[in-house]
Amino acid sequence: MGSTQTASAAGAEADSGRRNVSDAAGVIVLGGCAVWSLISAAAHDGRPEGVLLAVLAVAAGYASGRISGSLLPVAAPCAGALAGLGLAVTLPHLAAGPEVSTPLGHAGAAAALLTLATGAACCAAWATPAPALRFALRLLAMVMVVTGAAVGSATGCLISGTVLLCSLAAARLRSRGPGIAGLALTAALVTGTVWALTGNVLPGGPATSLEGRLTAYRVQLWHDALRLAHRDPTLGVGPGRFGELSPTASQALWPDGKPHSAPLQQAAEQGLVGVLLLAAAFCWMLFALWRSPRSTPLALTAGAALTGLAAIAAVGDALSFTTVSAGAGLLAGLATARPLAPDGAEGDQEPRVR
């Protein structure tokens, strides 16, 4: 009996140590994002308020997720899923300006919110010990997929459906390490494809096909972003200055001052360091999920939703919406929170890091 208690205490201490490492990494990464935006803005008279607001939204969402996920491991992600669904449906009516085609603008934000909401519903399903409730929560995730089609967001429908399938497939994985690595590779491939298309590296056939789907206007914005990144590869041209320096953006009928690609916006406005910090923020979330005390299927489900968000952000403007940034932090916090009461459903899955 004494040896069992000792082993349990040692395991709890190891889990606490792992969580402290991931929390410290998050503080460093988010702090670095905020500080670098101020440095870049000071060098080029930029406007760092948008970046600072996004960092604050992620941090606040993550803290809220950790707290609510500990107290209400099933109800909290379920409430988050319903909130995301409501915002995705009403967002075009709440935001100013015209709605543009997916994944630009509001439609891209709606796709991102549906993706995060699907992930939250599936996380709630993995957290509950009741089979009937688990089935109902997966039906809720299906509602997210159908909603994507109903609001005209093919991207939201496709990626939400992919998150649901990944969540179901995660039940067969006993080790989360390969799954986390696969998610990181997927995000890297999407981002690399965007860079290759922008840099005219892709062969003619695939490049023409992608440009037709993404629209020539968006690709031209990306070319402008790459040219601005070459102007000052270290500091960029300053946060918030893309719109005034991009010929394509300034000539648009409804200019929004964004290149509609988070990595390329970072490269143009904050240089290579900004791109590395954005990548570090995504890797930190995956690292936190790898270290999470929650079950492997739940952690991989959240990782799949965050990877879907990364893909949307690579070709759209989703991260410019505070609700999306806060939702990403909330989902990561929910999936890394330790429930105060042991959970029957997750007890069937091995939650240890492997």
What pLDDT is stored for residue 99 in this prediction? 44
Amino acid at 259: P
Give, rounded to a whole angstrom, the gap between the first and last alpha carbons of the chain.
Answer: 27
**By mean pLDDT, which of 14-18, 60-64, 207-211, 250-254 is the weakest?**
14-18
CA distance 129 to 5: 25
Nearest to 289 by CA among 311, 270, 274, 305: 305
Q: Percent of the chain having pLDDT more than 90?
A: 66
What pLDDT is stored for residue 59 in this prediction? 97
CA distance 27 to 197: 34
pTM of the predicted structure, to 2 decimals: 0.90
On whether the CB atoms of residues 335 and 298 are closer than 8 A, the answer is: yes
What pLDDT is stored for residue 16 in this prediction? 60
Nearest to 219 by CA among 269, 261, 164, 262: 261
The whole-number average pLDDT for the span 17-25 is 79
What pLDDT is stored for residue 205 in this prediction? 82
Question: So where are the chain's domains?
Answer: 13-347
pLDDT, the chain, mean: 87
On whether the CB atoms of residues 142 and 125 are closer than 8 A, the answer is: no
CA distance 205 to 233: 30
Q: What is the pLDDT of residues 273-310, one digit of tens each?
A: 999 999 999 999 999 999 999 999 999 999 999 999 99
Residue 181 has pLDDT above 90, yes or no: yes
Q: How confident is the model at residue 216 (pLDDT cuts 50, 70, 90)?
A: confident
Q: What is the pLDDT of residues 87-101, one digit of tens each?
A: 988 865 444 444 444
Pure H helices in 48-176 = 49-71, 75-94, 105-127, 131-150, 154-169
